[in-house]
A and B are shown apart, each in its own frame.
Chain A
């Protein structure tokens, strides 16, 4: 097969009119994806424009649904620089079927450009194909090159659902792994062998599949040989898994940063694409730059009005909006981030935000339309309120009321509404929301995300882990000791051996042992299945402390240990309200039993004094105040008596 791209050789492109998925419900039932209007012009026009600019001479348009619509549209268009041939098949239900069918027809002769029906791209496809051919010279098994667009970090982008994980060899850009990131999985598994067998592995999550594929002739037979390849994802996965057997490899190319591409894979993406066109990111596929979108008047803040459109007095086109041929807005109507197709009549005092109004619609006075899509030939009676709805073609709303989150259709003069959340229980169907609101949502998400990173990294931490293990071990030992009335010396031995096992320093031992003893009544009571009150807690605590007195004495000997002991008490008290209420009893008990010295308690209390900003610690301080007062008075008394 000739791989050299001579000047005379004809460049072929295959466009699949359908994408065989139902992401844009209910648009698929109305027209094929390729005829989806984007700023009032079918997607196909943009695609053909790009193909002509890239000097592609032959276009095969494969259609399976709505064939008549496509046939009629092409007849009407009559493109000059490109020959468009239709391949029609009714039985086809997937991308795999379509490519197998094309293979049997045998009209594709060399390397070709495969474009899925929902693709929108402005790059020079021939240049991309030439790069693929050079790759093919190096590697005879290069079956396909994917065209990926770098859209940067997915953080805060409305395209987050579409992000995919691409693992590839850095030098050759050979894809090793490709899949769409699933939101529900917190972790992604990567094979160790990839890293060991390649010097440098690139891992990307910033890419968006443009739905444009540069294919070698071997792609079609591959589909024919493998009947289980239904979707492009199947094909990629299958080829990557059986790389050796099939002797085929998939590569990727990055779209130049100035080029643009975005497949309409969801309403969200559709929304994004329209906004980008109005903001002229997609140049030259923008109003006034292409023949089928001309005679627009460009107004500030990305708003456009066709020459033949009429704006009445007091109308405001706020931003990112376009008003197409022969449409009329009447008095005091507000339009924000909205595309209004041709021959629409919008009454006065209407508010339209973040919506798509296709052609030939009539909206009467005082309506409010937010976050909605209104297909062509609809009629909306005055005072209707529509939020988050999709109106099928020829829907007529006579009864003014409020509609939310539904697909509205009129059959035999009756209106049937289906709630979107019912049709789509898995919430895969996302109608766009206002971008700004979405951004706020994302911020919330990222915050929780980072905290989860923290936790994830913390559990790898040897130090913290060991100490918490040590603490739980100590609690276990003590609880068992208390229940079975074991000797304290044996328990000390047990604690010391856990101490060596977890490599815990002495001060931490003291700290944790005290913590364990203080929380013991809670564990004990919860095991006895009693409801825990402060009185129960105190009673048990007294038992526990009397019982474990030798252990406490063993660990709290030095002044430093006393500090640690006090910190442990503070820590537990600030988290358990039961202890807080009897804190002064506890301190008194420790003071009486000579575990804690008067000076140390006072010192601790004063050091605590400074942190008035911390509420938790404040609580502790307040709780012990009477005891401290008593202590200070006692001190004064004793010093006075000494003076006497």
Chain B
């Protein structure tokens, strides 16, 4: 038997970073550095802080070696169980969970590797426990991008997706979840819905942070229903919607029925079953979650979704270039401010060689070499990076083994691993791809320098 655990943790790190291909070509998304630490460190650290001893990390097969090496370097106390899945590119988040369902034997917490936040997960778990919820999700205020913040790369008119999140004012239940792009001009809401929830708030500036606490029965349901491919896009809205259905009067649990019959309307109630004791407790208790009508607690619903709103906390999902860069810019401010007792991100590694004296708000990682007469401002410098003299770098990210030659001016750029910037180059608001060589003396502004871009001859 498994040792008793209340929750298991699953970190989803198999994603290929489809919304930031400029950076993920040749590099793994979950290992992209934020404040010189791989992205994956942040969710794991978050779990470790609330006392999780183990976490399952789902990664793509191709990244297995790199991820385990990287995790070894991080010295986390939390034990990681790395599970590699095949064809990760084609799999949705729900598919990945379904693949590893045998490892999950209790209620579990799903966190995405790109979530950077300082929310106390305990609060979310408490909300989950309090109501014995089906799913509890963390909603964070969408990060405010400062006006003067410029995302490296060409101008992007793409607007961020807006989630419409409806939360009942009285009970705090999550009752409506949809993307604004699903609607054209109007949203239709049925009268019975309004009757059941006479007062609710629709949030449009909240972001579903992709941190869910999920009941075991939902997993069982997910395993049976192979139609769901993603958690956020399909499973969660479905479960939220299902809160309004009523369980069938009497369900005959017949193990001989073939799978076809589970497609019938009430299939979810094969899984969502209230334990007789729970029901008894609910009926005997004086507790009620609402007091404006005479209905039972929770309106007698077995399926219940809740949302925890992390007000006043920072949080973002580094799944686009903009968010990734913003995370890098703000990380020192966020992470060091109130977490003094927590292991903070090291500023300058002991093995780094720094000759320059003009360093301001920078992080320099192991074995980096910074020569003399260099001005560095607000920049993260990865391991084995070489910066030669007479160079100015500001507001940038330099990933592992990047080499910057003399007399370069680099401003607000992301330089991927292994790239080489030749002498006298001036880069402003640019992204330089994996192992790219930027020729000497060139000048670029707001561009992406990668192989795919044929216009730029390198």
| Residues in A lying within 8 Å of B, measured CB to CB | 150-156, 165, 170, 181, 183, 185-193, 195-196, 198-206, 446, 449-454, 456-458, 460-464, 467, 503, 505, 507-508, 511, 560, 563-564, 567, 607, 610-611, 613-614
Q: Are A205 and B198 in contact (CB under 8 A)?
A: yes
- Give the chain B neighbours of A467 by CB distance below 8 A: 263
Contact A457 B260 (CB under 8 A): no
What would 11 A/B residue contacts be, using CB atoms closer than 8 Å? A153-B196, A154-B198, A186-B191, A189-B187, A189-B188, A201-B201, A203-B201, A508-B263, A564-B258, A564-B260, A607-B254
Q: Is the CB of B199 within 8 A of A560?
A: no
The distance in angstroms between the C-alpha atoms of A191 and B245, with both chains bound, is: 26
Output the nearest chain A residue to B200 by Cβ-Cβ distance. Answer: A203
The complex places the Cα of A458 from the Cα of B266 at a distance, in Å, of 10
A449-B204 in contact given A152-B198, A560-B258, A610-B254 (Cβ < 8 Å):
no
A202 near B200 with CB under 8 A, answer yes
* B258 CB contacts on chain A under 8 angstroms: 507, 560, 563-564, 567
Q: How far is the CB of A139 from chain B (nearest CB, A)?
A: 21
Quick check: A153 and B204 within 8 Å, CB to CB? no
Q: Which residues of A contact B226 (CB under 8 A)?
A: 505
Q: In chain A, what residue has the closest Cβ to B205? A: A199
Q: Is the CB of B190 within 8 A of A206?
A: no
CB closest chain-B residue, reference A603: B256
Contact of A191 among B186, B199, B205, B291 (CB under 8 A): B186
A203 to B202, Cβ gap below 8 A? yes
Chain B residues positioned under 8 Å from A456 (CB to CB): 190
B405 at interface by CB-CB < 8 Å? no
In angstroms, Cα B169 to Cα A441, docked, is 28
Contact partner of B190 (CB less than 8 A), chosen from A188, A567, A614, is: A188
B225-240 interface bits toward A, Cβ cutoff 8 Å, 1 = contact, 0 = none: 1110000000000100
Query: Which of A185, A190, A563 is B191 in contact with, Cβ under 8 Å?
Result: A185
Contact of A204 among B198, B256, B293 (CB under 8 A): B198
User: When chains A and B are docked, how far (Å) is the Cα of A109 from the Cα of B293?
Assistant: 43
- Taking a contact as CB atoms closer than 8 A, the residue among A195, A202, A461, A505 that contacts B187 in the complex is A195
The answer, yes or no, to whether B294 is at the interface (CB within 8 Å) is yes
Query: Which of B's residues lie within 8 Å of A, judged by CB?
Result: 162, 164, 166, 169, 180, 183-196, 198-205, 225-227, 238, 241-242, 244-246, 252, 254, 256-261, 263, 265, 291-295
A503 surroundings in chain B (CB, below 8 A):
227
On whether the beta carbons of A507 and B260 are closer than 8 Å, the reply is: yes
- Please give me the residue from chain B that is nearest to A508 by CB atom: B260
Q: Is there an interface contact between B261 and A457, defined as CB atoms closer than 8 Å?
A: no
Q: Of all chain A residues, which has the CB nearest B240?
A: A457
Closest to A152 in B: B292
Contacts of B202 in A (CB 8 A): 195, 200-203
Report yes or no: A202 in contact with B199, Cβ–Cβ below 8 A. Answer: yes
Cα distance A605–B194 in the bound complex, in angstroms: 47
Asked whether, in the complex, the Cβ of A201 is within 8 Å of the Cβ of B204, the reply is: yes
Contact present for A450 and B192 (CB under 8 Å): yes
Interchain CA distance A192-B188 in the complex, whole Å: 10
Q: What residues of B have a CB within 8 angstroms of the CB of A453 in the complex?
A: 190, 192-193, 244-245
Nearest A residue to B191 via CB reads: A186
Which among B205, B252, B259 has the greatest number of chain A C-beta atoms within 10 A? B259
In the complex, A193 Cα to B246 Cα: how many Å? 32
Q: Give bound CA distance, A467 to B184, whole Å.
A: 27
Residue on A nearest B225 in the bound complex, by CB = A463
Q: Complex formed: what's the CA distance from A190 to B241 in Å?
A: 18
| Complex: A457 Cα to B260 Cα, angstroms | 21
Q: In whole angstroms, how far apart are the Cα atoms of A564 and B261 in the complex?
A: 9
Chain B min CB distance to A494 (Å): 21
**Could you tell me if B185 and A191 are in contact, using CB atoms closer than 8 angstroms?**
yes
Known: A190-B187, A192-B184, A201-B202. A452 touches B254 (CB 8 A): no
Shortest B141–chain A CB gap in Å is 9
- A505 to B235: give the CA distance in the assembly, Å: 19
Contact (Cβ within 8 A) B199 A187: no
Nearest 9 A/B pairs, CB to CB: A152-B292, A206-B198, A153-B293, A607-B256, A189-B186, A449-B192, A187-B188, A199-B205, A201-B202
